[in-house]
Amino acid sequence: MSAQHPGIGMTSQRTRLRMIERLRAQGIRDEAVLAVMAQVPRHVFVDEALASRAYEDMSLPIGFGQTISNPHTVARMTELACAGGAPGKVLEIGTGCGYQTAILAKLAKQVYSMERIAALIRKARKNLREAGITNIHLRHGDGHAGMPGVSPFDAIVMTAAANRVPEKLVEQLSAGGRMILPMAGKADQYLCVIERAAKGYTERRMEPVRFVPLLPGVG
């Protein structure tokens, strides 16, 4: 328990285990995902004033008009990203506070994560260090470009909603690799899973979700 995060009762292992039971009830089945979410201290990733709410079923503000996704959404995206087996290299677009990055890093070999707001990169770096996560590589930049120099990726997880599938990212998937992203429709958003097949790509539309928009350029 970090001395910087008060409210020990609300941030205890017991509170975290209640979150895991709720995730199970909400349909999360991947035991590896549930195990790492039981391990990673989510309260480290939110501002001190919100630490007592870190394990509730809600998204929370992280500054700069952005939010940390609710636990169920993080679990679901991770479950989908790992559905083909534990990924080697993962690319995340939208680091935010670094919580999804941390969960992915516990399951994958290496996680590369891009964020357009420099101050959030600094925040995420500090949070990830505090959580003891080291197999991560954070980059300040526009995620639309991806990281062609590091590609191919076994999984790409995008945590901001796009209007169309970013072509450059899909091209950076390994054979059999998958990209999980929220797609913005006319009035709603839904999760989308794109898989790189032997020839071309398959696209699956999943459940409705709510994300902040993917924005162009750096902030």
* Residues annotated catalytic, as ranges: 69
- Strands (E) in 6-152, as ranges, are 60-63, 66-68, 89-93, 110-115, 136-140
- The rounded distance, in Å, linking the Cα atoms of 158 and 160 is 6
Can you tell me which residue has the tokens 């071309």?
Answer: 200
Distance separating alpha carbons of residues 36 and 48, to the nearest angstrom? 22
Q: Which of 69/172 has CB closer to ligand SAH?
A: 69
Site for ligand SAH in 133-192 (CB under 6 A): 142-144, 159-160
# chain residues binding ligand SAH, by CB under 6 A: 24
Q: Give the residue from 84, 67, 131 showing the smallest Cα distance to 105.
A: 131
Minimum CB–partner distance for residue 213 and ligand SAH (Å): 7
CB of 42 to ligand SAH, least distance (A): 10
Task: Identify which range of 6-14, 22-30, 61-69, 129-137 contacts ligand SAH by CB under 6 A.
Answer: 61-69
Q: Name the phi and psi angles at 185, rounded to 5.
A: -90, -160
Indicate whether 43 belongs to the interface with ligand SAH (CB under 6 A).
no
Cα 79 to chain centroid distance, Å, stands at 11
Q: Which is nearer to ligand SAH, 44 or 160 (CB)?
A: 160
Single out the residue of 58, 83, 150, 215 in contact with ligand SAH (rule: CB under 6 A): 215
- Output 206 or 215, the one with its CB closest to ligand SAH: 215
Q: What are phi and psi of 218, to 5 degrees?
A: -105, 155
- How far apart, in whole angstroms, are the C-alpha atoms of residue 9 and residue 94? 30
Q: Which of residues 67-96 bind ligand SAH (CB under 6 A)?
A: 67-69, 93-94, 96
**Reduced to 3 states, what is the DSSP secondary structure of residue 120?**
helix
The answer to the question of residue 212 lying near ligand SAH (CB under 6 A) is yes
Rounded Cα distance between 107 and 78, Å, is 9
C-beta closer to ligand SAH: residue 87 or 94: 94
What is the binding site for ligand SAH (CB under 6 A)? Answer: 62, 66-69, 93-94, 96-97, 99-100, 114-117, 120, 142-144, 159-160, 212, 214-215
